[in-house]
Structure 1
Amino acid sequence: MGNADLRAVAAIEDIPFSELSGSVVAVDAHNWLYRYLTTTVKFTADSVYTTSDGDEVANLLGVVQGLPKFFEADMTPVLVFDGGVTDLKSDEVERRREQRKKAEERKQEAEEAGDSVEAARLEARTQRLTDTIHETTRGLLDRLDVPYIEAPAEGEAQCAHMAATGEVDYAGSEDYDTMTFGAPRTLRQLTSKGHPELMDLQKTLEKHDISYEQLVDVALLMGTDFNEGVTGYGPKTAVKAVKEHGDIWGVMEAEDVYVANADRVRELFFDPPVTDDYELDLDIDPDLDAARAYVSAEWEVPAEEVERGFERIEESLVQTGLDDWT
């Protein structure tokens, strides 16, 4: 998710859905899906999303719950899936794996102690995006005719690239790294109740009177998914140091600190692996009958668990004028 300290640096404000009508959003699919996945698992009996073969497809409930927010606001989502893991992120991936392992151990202890509430909370923290989740998410998006693309590496980098080139209006992610990847405007809190947040790159630079390159250096000092930060460098200290010494190299020399792989991480943010080799068909024409059958008949999710989500999608086609799709 990037370092949450970036929140204190970023220019962020609430934005009503009414101001987002007609926009296209490149959504960090893994980030978006994981949030619905963990919420579903935490508050839903596992029998609801577990097939007779033992496959867990809580993601299908999450997708049906999450998509109506876009359609009701007359927004078009483009889901962007991660590709290969960047070498520099291997430590972060291992850290998250260890966190899941510890949560699994604590969940077992809670179950043995008869604490079902704590067990459910910890179950949500053990979730990962399995091959089945990847397959079924894409299968449902196909039937709903929601566009998606495969990023060559980091999904948030691809979202940022699409926003920066004007292919879409916004990147959509809870990951603060979209800004350091150069997204001009990022929508956050798309999975939460209430208004989304708008994180604005240009306003952030103006707020601190720094350049984009200096913003990346500030992030490196605080730490990112791709590097360890320097102890003692929070938002204020990092911004002050970069402004005083010019860049990360000036800070390291003047303040006798070291940021491992600074050159490689900088290059990753400035020139990440992204692609323009895709076509977006934004004339969405969802097949709701096929989607319902896919979720309930093929993957055994009880129809009553997802019907309200499908009804919201169907209602939004009329309410927002999206009935032009059909």
Structure 2
Amino acid sequence: MGNADLRDLAAIRDVAFEEIEGSVVAVDAHNWLYRYLTTTVKWTSDEAYTTADGVEVANLIGVVQGLPKFFEHDLIPVMVFDGAVTDLKADEVADRREKRERAEAKRAAAEERGDAVEAARLEARTQRLTDAIQETTRELLRLLDVPIVEAPAEGEAQCAHMASTGTVDHAGSEDYDTLLFGAPTTLRQLTSKGDPELMDLAATIDELGLDRRGLIDVAMLCGTDFNEGVHGVGPKTAVKAVKEHGDLWGALDARGAEIPNADEIRELFADPPATDVDVDVDVNPDVAAARAYVVDEWGVAADEVERGFERIEESQVQTGLDRWS
């Protein structure tokens, strides 16, 4: 979400992989994929992932590079894809589109003046999840036997629902919306080197002296993907205001401020669209079929993905040995 202010409020601690091995994690697929997609585009020649017809599938490299981190630590990822975009997020989507268009114009200018480094940086910022990326990502995940869930709306809300109902052990996202959507625990830094972080909802509201509704009110005062925050209100001020005035409405009245569609936004976080699902976590990747799909069918450079496929194969052997030891 846009509200990075929650970083200052959330109860987050480093967690060793040994503490969470064997866990099932509902991963916000768009969030996870976008980070690997942009990194691949920034640091890899576009010839390595562009077909003869000009279709770019850098996502296939990103998926193969990103999945081993789960398998090597005996984590089962369940990839949760966004569904319909809520009307409340229309402004945020439009803003992202405008920023992407500005970055595209700057990238073209950088290419004209021969600044390859700047052009690559801006190219990464212009990425979007095209139909080809969506379709090929799902097919590659299926070949690798990674469970897929299609959310009715926000992927993070579905991840939070699956964690809160015990379908999975944790939500997984680099953003903070899972906290507001009610995920008991969220694993972060799953796209980074090193150990992950664990964000704890119960510890967060306990430390702040709020309930979950109060936490949502605080986030809305700071600003979310669905609303702009109140001018001059940061996280500490927002917590103080909600405690002093009782709730969002009291805090807004005290400042003479308003948040458009506040009722709907508050309810969206408190009771988001989500569905109960059954997930088969007996994962057995078909690496040979996945390699053929990526390299032979889509023409991705073999040397860009071979080590990733090798790591997946090695992790399956090691996990099997661990379970029988």
TM-score by length of 2: 0.98
SS at match of 2:227: coil
Q: Structure 1 92/322 Cα, relative in aligned 2: closer, same or farther at 3 Å?
A: farther
| Offset at residue 321 of structure 1 (A) | 2.7
In structure 1, the residue matched to 2:309 is: 310
In structure 2, the residue matched to 1:138 is: 138
Identity across matched positions, percent: 71
**Cα displacement string for residues 125-160 of structure 1 (whole angstroms, at most 9, x for unaligned residues):** 000000000110011011101001100000000001
- 2:167/2:279 contact within 8 Å kept: no
Report whether the alignment pairs 1:283 with 2:287: no
In structure 2, the residue matched to 1:175 is: 175
CA distance in 2: counterparts of 1:215 and 1:142, whole angstroms: 37
- 1:74/1:322 contact within 8 Å kept: no
SS at match of 2:198: strand
Equivalent residue letter for 2:115: D
| Offset at residue 323 of structure 1 (A) | 8.4
How do 1:82-121 and structure 2 match up within 5 A?
Answer: 82-121=82-121
CA distance in 2: counterparts of 1:299 and 1:240, whole angstroms: 54
Gaps of 5+ in 1: none
Q: Structure 1 134/140 Cα, relative in aligned 2: closer, same or farther at 3 Å?
A: same
In structure 2, the residue matched to 1:203 is: 203
- 1:25/1:172 contact within 8 Å kept: yes
How do 1:218-229 and structure 2 match up within 5 A?
Answer: 218-229=218-229
More displaced, 247-256 or 10-19?
247-256
| Offset at residue 205 of structure 1 (A) | 0.6
CA distance in 1: counterparts of 2:57 and 2:321, whole angstroms: 28
In structure 1, the residue matched to 2:264 is: 264
CA distance in 2: counterparts of 1:106 and 1:304, whole angstroms: 31
**Cα displacement string for residues 17-65 of structure 1 (whole angstroms, at most 9, x for unaligned residues):** 1111000000000000000000000000000000111110000000000
Q: Cα RMSD between the aligned structures?
A: 1.2
SS at match of 1:12: strand
Structure 1 stretches (4+) deviating beyond 6 angstroms? 322-325
In structure 2, the residue matched to 1:293 is: 292
Q: Structure 1 315/195 Cα, relative in aligned 2: closer, same or farther at 3 Å?
A: same
SS at match of 2:2: coil
Equivalent residue letter for 1:155: G
**For this pair of structures, how many residues does the alignment match?**
324
CA distance in 2: counterparts of 1:320 and 1:12, whole angstroms: 28
- 1:11/1:201 contact within 8 Å kept: yes
Report whether the alignment pairs 1:17 with 2:17: yes
How do 1:67-82 and structure 2 match up within 5 A?
Answer: 67-82=67-82
Q: Structure 1 252/269 Cα, relative in aligned 2: closer, same or farther at 3 Å?
A: same
CA distance in 2: counterparts of 1:202 and 1:323, whole angstroms: 33
